[in-house]
Amino acid sequence: MSILDRFSLSGKIALVTGASSGLGAGFAVALAEAGADVVLAARRRDRLGATCREIEQLGRAALAVQTDVTDPAQCRAAVEAAVGRFGRLDVLVNNAGLGTAVPALRETPEQFREVIDVNLMGAYWMAQAAAQVMPPGSSIVNIASLLGLVKSFLPQAAYAASKAGLIGLTRDLNQQWSGRRGIRVNAVAPGYFRSEMTEPLPRAKLDAFIASTSTLGRMGEQHELDTAVVFLASPASSYIAGVTLAVDGGMSGH
C-alpha cells in the first residue's frame, strides 16, 4: 500500500454529527473527498441538503438523519440508519457542539448543563452507539478545542469544561476499545477557525489574542482542520490512539 493509499477512506462509511453547517459540513465533504460515503447527523435536518448534494457531486453517497445528540435513543437511531443504508459504520466524527461565553457568576444551571449535554454527553452517547457496531480498524474522532488545553480571553467555563472533559473521555474510551475492539479513539483540538461559533466573538479582541498567542499569527482555514480529521480517520494514523492533536497555529504551545 502506498503512502497516499493509506489516507484513503474508499469503501468506508463515516458519520458526522453537527454536519448542518460550518466545520461539520466541511468535515463531511472532506471525508467524501477521501472516498467515504457519509451519514450527516444534525438537529437541523433541513440544512443538510446542500452538503448532501455536494457529497453526491463527488460521486459518493450521502444520508441525512435528524439527530439530537443529547438523546441516547436518537444517537442509536442515527447509527441504525447508517447500518441500515450502508451495512456498516467505520468512522465517527463527534463534531456537534455548542459554544457560550457567560461570566461564571451569572451563568445559570440550565445554561451550563446545556453545553455539557451537547459537547460532552452527546459525544459519549454517540460514541457508545457507534462502538456497538463498528468493526476492528474503525476510528472515532472527537472534535475538542484549544480551550480544553489553555485559557481563553472570554468567560467560557462551561465550554472549556466540556472540551477538557471530552479530551479525558477520548483517552478513556481509547483505553477501553482500541486494544479489545480495534476501535481507535482520538481527538482534534482546533484553535480559532472561521465558523458559526466564532462569528459572534468580538473581532478586535480575537485578533489581538491570536496575534499574542499564535506562532502563525492568524486564524485557521477549514482545509487545515479537514486534513487532520481525515488523517485520524484513515489507516494513515493506524498507530495513533488516545491522543489529542492540537490544530491551533501553535497557540497551545505558547
Q: Where are the domains of the chain?
A: 3-246
110: burial class by Cβ within 10 Å (0-12, 13-18, 19+)? exposed
* Measured distance CA(187)–CA(174) in Å, rounded: 10
CA nearest to 158, candidates 98, 95, 244:
98
* Measured distance CA(230)–CA(213) in Å, rounded: 26
Catalytic residue among 124, 159, 192, 239: 159
Measured between its terminal Cα atoms, the distance across the chain in Å is 38
| Cell numbers for 253 | 504551545
* Measured distance CA(154)–CA(151) in Å, rounded: 9
Identity of the amino acid at 193: F
* Measured distance CA(84)–CA(50) in Å, rounded: 23
What pLDDT, in 10s, does the model give residues 197-217? Answer: 666 666 777 777 777 677 888
Per-block average pLDDT, block size 10, for the chain (254 residues)?
94 96 94 98 89 97 97 98 98 93 91 97 98 98 93 85 98 97 97 71 74 80 96 98 94 77
Within a 10 A sphere around the Cβ of 244, how many other Cβ atoms? 20
For the entire predicted model, the pTM comes to 0.94
Active site annotation includes 124: no
Identity of the amino acid at 166: L
Q: What is the pLDDT of residue 196?
A: 66
Q: What is the pLDDT of residue 201?
A: 65
CATH topology of domain 3-246: Rossmann fold (3.40.50)
Identity of the amino acid at 133: V
Write a three-state SS string for the chain.
Answer: CCHHHHCCCCCCEEEEECCCCHHHHHHHHHHHHCCCEEEEEECCHHHCHHHHHHHHHCCCCEEEEECCCCCHHHHHHHHHHHHHHHCCCCEEEECCCCCCCCCCCCCCHHHHHHHHHHHHHHHHHHHHHHHCCCCCCCEEEEECCHHHCCCCCCCCHHHHHHHHHHHHHHHHHHHHHCCCCCCEEEEEEECCECCCCCCCCCHHHHHHHHHHHCCCCCCECHHHHHHHHHHHHCHHHCCCCCCEEEECCCHHHC
How many residues are present in the chain? 254
Q: What are phi and psi of 86, to 5 degrees?
A: -110, -10
